[in-house]
Amino acid sequence: MNILVSGSSGLVGSSLLLYMGSKGHSMKSLVRQNPTHPSQILWNPSETGPESAALDGIEAVVHLAGASIASGRWSEARKRAIRDSRTIGTRLLVDSLVRMARPPKVLVCASAIGYYGSRGDEVLREDSAPGDDFLADVCKRWESATAPASQKGIRVVNLRFGIILSPAGGALAKMLLPFKMGLGGIIGSGAEYMSWIALSDILGIIAFALDTESLRGPVNAVAPNAVTNKEFTKTLGKVLHRPTLFPMPAFAARLAFGEMADALLLSSARVEPSALKKAGFHFQWPALEGALQHLLVA
């Protein structure tokens, strides 16, 4: 297929270009600065989508662009950037897609399990109600921005990403130094659920979503075995052969990170990948210890 990717400089996007390219697909990427290669297409996700004519021949789109949610405390300006980079950017891209003479067959758009909010040990599936906090609102708006594509007849898959595990970036990369130094420990009570996914499985899920006609709408992109923060901490310490004796109480997390602490560090989301299971997706790394061994030791 001829596949267009936004957010191609990020952890998932850069890996996806290599992964799908190795399978023989023709890959193009959206860029914010003047293109330096024929595979690049210019856009400004805060002001204007790509020219529809430049997208001619694109058969599938993977939309991953959005401002980082974990780079600094959440001021009002930062929250606005997080929200607008997803909602405005998605709307502008979709506007360009629906204007094409021959729109793509499928749009795979990133979303997040932040859609559900913090729900304790409740098992959350794609048909569970949304939460009522900031990230839940962002995710609802983000997914709603793809509606015109569905109305145009484009098959839309909204992948609700869990915590993506990779030593190259994201949450795991930030944890490695303190854990390797023996300074890791549980965060909050340790009972909060973490719904995680190995990066290699994310790439497989995106490829599966592009190919699988039965998949559409929200799809939970998480491993089938969510763990508590305590279980995650113990397992990471075991894989690294390090003690995990230094907890971060909830009040300390809030002092250090503000509102972001409750949304990212102290939130509990026990998410089930029901749609992927029903569609027959095979996880390479369904269990946390095996995933961490693969990522950090193998």
Q: Would you kindly state where each structural domain of the chain is located, as residue ranges? A: 2-164+195-224+269-284
Dihedral sign, Cα of residue 49, residue 52, residue 58, residue 60: positive
Is 21 in a helix, a strand, or coil?
Answer: helix
What are the 10-residue block averages of pLDDT along the chain, 298 residues in total? Answer: 96 97 96 92 93 95 93 88 95 96 97 97 98 96 98 98 94 91 92 97 98 97 97 96 90 79 87 98 98 92
User: For position 221, what pLDDT does the model report?
Assistant: 98
Helix axes 11-22, 199-211, angle to 10 degrees: 60
User: What is the reported pTM?
Assistant: 0.95
CATH architecture of 2-164+195-224+269-284: 3-Layer(aba) Sandwich (3.40)
In order, the DSSP letters of 213-267 are TT--EEEEES-S--EEHHHHHHHHHHHHT------B-HHHHHHHHTHHIIIIIS-
Amino acid at 106: V
Which pLDDT score is estimated for 72? 77
What six digits make up the tokens of 259?
A: 């509102």
Strands (E), 98-216: 106-112, 123-124, 155-161, 163-165, 193-194, 196-198
Instruction: Give the whole-angstrom CA distance, residue 191 versus residue 189.
Output: 5
